[in-house]
């Protein structure tokens, strides 16, 4: 196969799974990150403790170990799931832990005067968070969230190791059948780069657009 | 579900593989420190070609997955007559990948050194080498030490990827044990716990360092 045919064949077979895993895991990570980040700021010590455990466990162990654990160990406890579910769950939980720290520090870096002003305006706690704090904190979080999205996208290559048929997995299969090792892995690197690089650029543009006239 | 006897039986095997994991981290980290600095200096070079080439390489490495880079080094290099041991290939992959992240850290450190310091070096007639080693780097590196430390911990947690290129490190050892007995629960959990036991105290120590550094700078 020519280099172009290889690229087309890889894209045709693995791109959907790679992108699907990225999007689903990113959504899960963002939701968990916001829930975790807000819980971390709770006044209740017990809630803070629970989140701290979640964050430290998922940040302190390796993503690949978590992936294997969810895919190989959970079935022993009767929780069997598809490779895609396991992949989304592992990556989402892992990046959710990192995201919760981003959310926490973002919220904490919003100026105290904003909280005071919203109290003075008689906003409720929920209103204060939703209308005043989070919109400002979100802009502060954007650069970090963007970086994490790129890291998350790259980390989806690990799902090949639990037999999910993403780009990396298909490259290995293609390599075994055609033995065009050099072209296949070069094509694979190029494909990942061509997706990740515009993502990096896009996040930078979004960041600039959101901060326009604000900072 | 969980068998303590079995866990204690497999623990020594897994723990002994920890040395492979730790030495891969250490060697990879030293490589990343050195190569990262080279990238930074190349990108800062006045020669446009050198600067652009280094910048391009760094961007490419940063925007592609470490796992694929490992495959590339391990499976493609031999096509050009360069067969590497799994350990060597893994360490090169890890080191190269993280060198691009460290280069960014060095850059931010160097940029935080005030312009007056460069002027002083010129005024004192320091040559380029002396300017860097005596004036700029001693001021640029200490403030970014916590970030560098963080990357060390991150690298340590990335070493299980080396199992994909057949290096028998801690995760691969656990996998092998699991494949032999069909019991993955204990070996894989032990691997997770070992990672947590090593990386958590390290990150706590780093937070202390960070507090001390912010006080000083």
pLDDT digits (tens, 9 = 90+) for B82-98: 999 999 999 999 999 99
**Ranges of chain A whose pLDDT falls below 70:** 215
Min Cα separation B103/chain A (Å): 16
The answer to whether the Cβ–Cβ distance between B63 and A193 falls below 8 Å is yes
**CA B59/CA B40 separation, integer angstroms:** 12
The answer to whether the Cβ–Cβ distance between B67 and A62 falls below 8 Å is no
Enumerate the domain spans of chain B: 4-216
How many cross-chain Cβ pairs, A to B, lie less than 8 Å apart? 109
Per-residue model confidence (pLDDT) at position A81: 93
Measured between beta carbons, the chain B residues lying within 8 angstroms of A76 are 1, 183-185
Per-residue model confidence (pLDDT) at position A215: 58
Q: Which of A8, A1, A3, A2 has its CA nearest to residue A186? A: A3
Per-residue model confidence (pLDDT) at position A2: 86
pLDDT, tens digit only, all 217 positions of chain B: 788 999 999 999 999 999 999 999 999 999 999 999 999 999 999 999 999 999 999 999 999 999 999 999 999 999 999 999 999 999 999 999 999 999 999 999 999 998 999 999 999 999 999 999 999 999 999 999 999 999 999 999 999 999 999 999 999 999 999 988 888 999 999 999 999 999 999 999 998 988 888 887 7
Q: Which of B192, B193, B207 to mutate to test the interface with A (most CBs of A within 10 A)?
A: B192
Rounded to two decimals, the ipTM of the complex is 0.91
The answer to whether residue B181 neighbours chain A at the CB level (below 8 Å) is no
Per-residue model confidence (pLDDT) at position B165: 95
Per-residue model confidence (pLDDT) at position B31: 98
Instruction: Specify the CATH number for A18-164; select among 1.10.760.10, 2.20.25.90, 1.10.10.60, 1.10.3720.10.
Output: 1.10.3720.10
**CA A174/CA A188 separation, integer angstroms:** 11
The answer to whether residue B169 neighbours chain A at the CB level (below 8 Å) is no
Residue A65 has its nearest CB partner, among B63, B76, B171, at B171
Per-residue model confidence (pLDDT) at position A162: 94
Give the CATH fold of the B4-216 domain: MetI-like fold (1.10.3720)
Per-residue model confidence (pLDDT) at position A9: 87
The answer to whether the Cβ–Cβ distance between B200 and A161 falls below 8 Å is no
* pLDDT tens digits for range B176-191: 999 888 889 999 999 9
Enumerate the domain spans of chain A: 18-164
Min Cα separation A122/chain B (Å): 36
Query: A51: which residues sit within 8 A by CB, 6+ positions away?
Result: A36, A39, A40, A100
The answer to whether residue B96 neighbours chain A at the CB level (below 8 Å) is no
């Amino acid at each position: 196969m020519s280099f172009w045919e290889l690229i087309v064949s890889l894209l045709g077979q693995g791109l959907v799974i790679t992108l699907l895993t990225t999007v689903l895991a990113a959504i899960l990570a963002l939701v968990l990150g916001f829930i975790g980040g807000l819980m971390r700021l709770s006044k209740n010590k017990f809630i803070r403790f629970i989140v701290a455990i979640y964050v430290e466990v998922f940040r302190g162990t390796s993503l690949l170990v978590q992936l294997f654990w969810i895919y190989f160990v959970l079935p022993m406890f009767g929780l069997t799931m598809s490779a895609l579910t396991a992949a989304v769950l592992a990556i989402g939980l892992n990046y959710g832990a990192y995201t919760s720290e981003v959310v926490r520090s973002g919220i904490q870096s919003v100026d105290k005067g904003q909280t005071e002003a919203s109290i003075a305006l008689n906003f409720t706690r929920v209103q204060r968070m939703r209308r005043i704090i989070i919109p400002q904190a979100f802009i502060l979080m954007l650069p970090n969230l963007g970086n994490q999205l790129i890291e998350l996208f790259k980390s989806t290559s690990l799902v090949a190791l639990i037999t999910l048929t993403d780009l990396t997995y298909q490259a290995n299969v293609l390599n075994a059948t055609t033995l065009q090792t050099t072209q296949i892995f070069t094509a694979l690197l190029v494909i990942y780069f061509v997706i990740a690089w515009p993502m990096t650029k896009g996040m930078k543009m979004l960041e600039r657009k959101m901060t326009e006239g604000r900072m | 579900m969980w068998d303590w006897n079995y866990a204690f039986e497999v623990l020594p095997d897994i723990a002994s593989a920890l040395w492979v994991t730790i030495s891969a981290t250490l060697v990879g980290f030293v490589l990343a420190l050195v190569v990262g600095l080279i990238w930074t200096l190349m990108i800062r070079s006045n020669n446009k070609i050198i600067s652009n080439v280094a910048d391009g390489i760094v961007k490419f490495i940063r925007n592609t997955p470490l796992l694929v880079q490992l495959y590339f080094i391990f499976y493609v290099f031999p096509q050009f007559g360069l067969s590497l041991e799994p350990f060597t290939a893994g360490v090169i992959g890890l080191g190269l990948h993280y060198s691009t992240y460290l280069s960014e850290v060095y850059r931010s450190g160097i940029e935080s050194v005030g312009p007056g310091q460069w002027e002083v070096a010129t005024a004192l007639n320091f040559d380029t080498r002396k300017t860097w080693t005596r004036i700029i780097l001693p001021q640029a590196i200490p403030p970014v030490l916590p970030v560098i430390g963080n990357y060390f911990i991150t690298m340590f947690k990335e070493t299980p990827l080396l199992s994909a290129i057949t290096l028998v490190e801690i995760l691969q050892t656990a996998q092998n044990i699991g494949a032999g007995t069909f019991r993955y629960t204990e070996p894989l959990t032990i691997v997770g716990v070992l990672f947590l036991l090593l990386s958590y105290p390290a990150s706590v120590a780093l937070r202390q360092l960070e507090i001390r550094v912010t006080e000083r700078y």
